[in-house]
Structure 1
């Protein structure tokens, strides 16, 4: 019997507990006081629900083939910026998880294991998030620009690791100006060269995003 892509996805999602979890409606027998005493919804969960609702609406759009070049270009830039903002949130989550895990005496290596076990199973990517979070502690301006969608996650990593050298010597594209190797993708940024050499955050990073 030929196994289709849908069969494979269904099996994967069922294993992950994403589908097949629906249950008949149950009438609550708890008292009003017990219901009122239940914990308030996690605000992060509520925001994630809203985010997924928005993404679901993209799935309901008409065929993409009819998009104009300008519309597709604009959508590409804005979605790239949105993806960078999500990466910024993921870095914050990794940093928070790192603090929570290490405060209990557990090795920081457990953080990547926890994150990769939640979705995708990519421990290398999870570890990269943890590492970037550590680097951005010394480069808060870069972290702010990532969170606002002004640079991509890869660009933020490059800046966080070597922004002092970039400020002092510049990169391809001119002194203090991100060239194609760093900025790329229609996004550019300036590193304030007036910062002292060796400053971990090298002054301010000003991003420009398509919002």
Structure 2
């Protein structure tokens, strides 16, 4: 598919949501460069299919970032600052690229730097209720979906927002994707029913 042919996308790191986002861009024709990806599992290899891999070459990584139309990065604000992948650092390298940040709870707010895992994100979003219904026996262990589904849903949400920015010509856009909020949108009806006093 060539919907986004000519669009230069850079995915930084091998976190799963960013890898899903990058893979979706590659699938619709964007030229995706993955800097320091994870290749340790068959799933990681699958998510890196169709991407140019840059690892261990700072000059090539900087060149990719400088020429990018869109940059995808995953992590909380503190982690991104430490790795020098926050908006300010990336803007020094590329002032025009749209920036897509994916994190468990977004880049701002009281939970922005809180740690999270697939299980905690599913329960924090309310979507776990869709999987298990009302839990009456709190001594039972929580149900957990197979795999890292929250990362896939967060990556899909990030890809949709990033593609909108790319197709709308939103140069310099900063997109903040909270995986917890992406999951919560899937549970909106269930959350509304619970909020209105239903079980």
Q: TM-score, normalised by structure 2?
A: 0.25
| Greater helix share, structure number | 1
Larger RCO (CA under 8 A, 6+ residues apart): 2
* Higher CA-based Rg: 1
